[in-house]
Amino acid sequence: MPAVAQQGGAPIEAGNKLLLVIPDPQPREYDVEVDRNGEIPIGRYGRLKVGGLAVDEAEKAAREALGKYIRNTTAVTLTRLDQKRLVYVTGHVGKSGFTRIEPGETVWEAIQSAGGPKPGADLERVVLARDGKEQVVSVRAFLTERAPLPELEAGDTIFVAAETTEPGAGGAAPRIEFLTEEALQDKVFVIGAVRNPGLFERSEVLTPLTAIGLAGGPDKDADLSSVRVLTRQRSDLVNLTRFLLGGPAPEVTIPKGGGGAIVFVPGRPAGTVDPLSQQIHVLGGVTQPGPKVTPGSLPLLDAIGLAGGPTAEADMTEVKVVHKGDGFTLVTTYDVEAFLDEGGLVGQVEVHPGDTVHVGRPAYEVWDNVLKFVSDIAIISAAVVIFVSLAEDDTNNAAAVGAGSNAGEGATP
């Protein structure tokens, strides 16, 4: 067995390996890894938050949690086996996804752990994201001039861009967007049976009714008795019909600074789906959108297959993977259609529990269908991110078209 670290010491971080012993009733050993949320499984008794605690504090927390199920909690022990850190590496690398690195290691070691850079990788401008902030580091300068690189911390995200699009690289290189919390604040997406569904800047005081007003009001088929209001904090079903007929005003308001919100007006009574602890969400142009149970990470193409595969209208050149990081949300767009024709990088992309996959398709049409059964709080952040990302794509495309039209008659069509 690896050498065991002393009790106490440095706080437990995502990626640390721990040894948990539970008398069940005979002692059973569990070799567990701290996940990106700072949690570990505690046998058949659920999960326990240990991130940020010293080892002896985590052991005490484990005994308290297990005290509900077993008598001899003094026999519960927790020790640290290693202090590796969990980071997320994506982009033009051999195998995108989570990887564990040793304390003191840098961006270069993380890239190597993720299969190394692919041919054509841009090592001059590698993006390191931490706590909602980005910095660009030059791995090339480190390799050629021994310039220093910052030490990585648990929860860091690294993106390696491609210098050019190369044959066999899965078509166009992945694009990436780091959307900070500020980019998602105070946005409200109103959709369903309203006249002008869309993404809006919210007002100072926002209620479900005023949010629907931003979208031009309800249409003739709206069911105002079952309006769904979704934020990161909660999911509420609001009866506006009763209020409009003279009843009490609903107590639900949409708070500022909550990271965005969705207001869904159904055309018929809305259903719900209970959230699962280990799941991904596959949305957009697939035949069976919604949450999909998975025991762990799986390839991107398998995730799309779990949802029944793409529909005939799906745009496989615009497949977005939404990953929630520490202080930011990461949106990576892949050209899966080119991969299916040519092979390459996209085949190495993995999707992890908690991630959301959106297969390209008109956003309003997709969410009219999906939000009828969504009540899972975990998907709300990803939903708002997808709306913002699609809106930015539309803006960029419109700007490109405008630039082309102003180029004059000599422009190439």
- Which tokens belong to 405? 């039209």
Q: Is residue 408 part of a domain?
A: no
Count H helices and E strands in the chain, helices first. Answer: 10, 23
DSSP string, 31-98: EEE--TTSEEE-GGG-EEE-TTS-HHHHHHHHHHHHTTT-S-GGG-EEEEEE--EEEEEEESBSS-EE
**240: in domain:** yes
Q: Does residue 10 sit within a domain?
A: no
Residues 6+ apart with CB under 8 A from 144: none
The pLDDT score that the predictor gives to residue 349 is 84
Cis peptide before 295 (omega within 30 of 0): no
Whether residue 166 contacts residue 120, with contact meaning beta carbons closer than 8 Å, is answered with yes
Tokens coding 59: 């052991």
Return d(Cα 252, Cα 272) in angstroms, integer. 19
Considering 164, 199, 230, which residue would you say is the last residue of a domain? 164
Task: Provide the number of structural domains found in the chain.
Answer: 3
Tell me if 392 is assigned to some domain. Answer: yes
Q: In tens digits, what is the pLDDT along the chain, a chain of 413 residues?
A: 344 444 558 999 999 999 999 997 888 999 999 998 899 999 888 899 999 999 999 999 999 999 988 988 999 999 999 999 999 998 889 888 899 999 999 999 999 999 999 888 889 989 998 887 888 999 999 998 888 999 999 999 999 988 754 444 445 556 666 555 565 567 788 888 888 888 887 766 688 888 888 888 888 778 888 888 887 777 888 888 888 777 788 877 776 666 678 888 887 544 433 333 468 888 888 888 888 877 778 888 889 988 888 888 888 888 888 887 777 778 888 888 888 777 777 778 888 888 888 888 655 555 555 554 454 445 566 666 777 776 666 666 655 555 555 554 443 33
Q: Which of 113, 137, 164 is the last residue of a domain?
A: 164
Which two structure tokens, joined as six digits, stand for 391?
Answer: 């809106």
Same domain? For 189 and 203 the reply is: yes
In the block, which residue shows the tokens 């909690």?
73
Note the pLDDT of residue 101: 94
Range of the domain at 31: 17-82
Q: What is the pLDDT of residue 4?
A: 42
Same domain? For 229 and 298 the reply is yes
pLDDT of 394: 62
| Same domain, residue pair 187 and 256 | yes
3 inside domain? no
Whether residue 385 lies inside any domain: the answer is: yes
Residues 251 and 389 occupy one common structural domain:
yes
Q: Can you tell me the distance from the alpha carbon of 324 to that of 205, in angstroms, rounded to the nearest whole number? A: 28
Torsion of CA 334, 337, 343, 346, to 10 degrees: 20
Last residue of a domain, one of 108, 132, 164: 164
The reply to whether 225 falls in a domain is yes
User: Residue 365 belongs to a domain with what CATH number?
Assistant: 3.10.560.10
Q: Which of 132, 92, 80 is nearest to 116 (CA)?
A: 92
- CB burial of 272-296 (b: ≥16 within 10 Å; e: otherwise) equals eeeeeeebbbbbbbbeebbbbebee
Q: Same domain for 76 and 112?
A: no
Question: Do 378 and 342 have their domain in common?
Answer: yes
181, two tokens: 């919390």
61 plus 159 within the same structural domain: no
Same-domain pairing of 284 and 273: yes
Is residue 252 domain-shared with residue 332, that is, in the same domain?
yes
CATH assignment of the domain containing 60: 3.30.1950.10
Q: Is residue 257 part of a domain?
A: yes
Closest CA to 15 of 326, 234, 409: 326
Please tell me whether residue 9 adopts helix, strand or coil conformation. Answer: coil
Tokens for 293, please give them: 């149970």
Helix (H, G, I), strand (E, B) or coil at 345: helix
Statement to judge: residues 238 and 362 lie in one domain: yes
If asked whether residues 160 and 196 sit together in one domain, one would say no
**Site of tokens 């949802």:** 307
pLDDT at 20: 96
69 and 112, same domain (yes or no) = no
